[in-house]
Amino acid sequence: MSGARDGDGRYYDDFAVGDVYEHWPGRTINEADNTWFTLLTMNTHPAHFDAEYAAGTEFGRLLVNSCLTLSIVTGMTVRDTSQRAIANLGWTDIKMPAPVFVGDTLYASSEILEKRESKSRPHQGIVRFATTGRKQDDTVVMTYERTILVPIRPQEG
C-alpha cells in the first residue's frame, strides 16, 4: 500500500486560523539521545557530551543539543500539522529562551496563524503556524514559526 490513508493528517481545508493543537505525547530526552544526535551531526561542542566539561559551565551539567530540541519539538507536531504535507517550506524566528537538560520532558503546542491557497500550485495550500516547546515545569524552551504546503481536499465524485 502506498500514499496517505484517510485519517492520516489534515488537508488544507481542515486548518482554521486561530486553531491550537496540543501535541501529545511528550518526549523525555535521555543521555544517549543527546550524545548520539550531537555526534551524528558532527557537533563537537563538549557541553553536549562531556560531563566533566559541562560541570564547569554556568549550567553545571550536560546541555541538550538545541538542534535535537528543534527536531523533537517539530516531530511532535507532525501528526497534527504536517502528516499530509507535500513540502516543508521553512522555519523562521526560532528562539530558545531556556536550556534543556538530559532528563527533561518536552511538550509542544501549535497555533495556526495564516493559510492561503497556492497561486502557483492548483489544489494545494500554504499554512503557517507558531509552535511552542515547553518542558515538564511549563518553562518555554523553544518557539518558532513554520510554513508548509498541503493538498486541498480532493472533490469526491
What are the structural domain ranges in the chain? Answer: 12-28+65-151
Any bridge partners for residue 91, and if so which? 146
Whether the per-residue pLDDT at 4 is higher than 60: the answer is no
Q: Band the pLDDT of 157: cuts 50, 70, 90.
A: low
Query: What pLDDT does 7 receive?
Result: 59
pLDDT, mean of residues 25-32: 95
pTM equals 0.90
Q: Where are the beta strands (DSSP E) in 12-120?
A: 20-28, 87-95, 105-117
Q: Band the pLDDT of 156: cuts 50, 70, 90.
A: confident
Whether the per-residue pLDDT at 8 is higher than 90: the answer is no
C-alpha cell at 77: 507536531
Q: From residue 102, how far is each of 11, 21, 43, 49, 98 by CA, in Å?
A: 36, 26, 17, 11, 14
Domain 12-28+65-151's class?
alpha beta
Query: What pLDDT does 80 receive?
Result: 95
The helix (H) or strand (E) run that includes residue 55 is helix 51-55
- Least Cα distance to 131 among 156, 113, 152 occurs for 113
Q: Band the pLDDT of 62: cuts 50, 70, 90.
A: very high
pLDDT in tens, 116-152: 999 999 999 999 999 999 999 999 999 999 999 999 9
Query: What pLDDT does 70 receive?
Result: 97
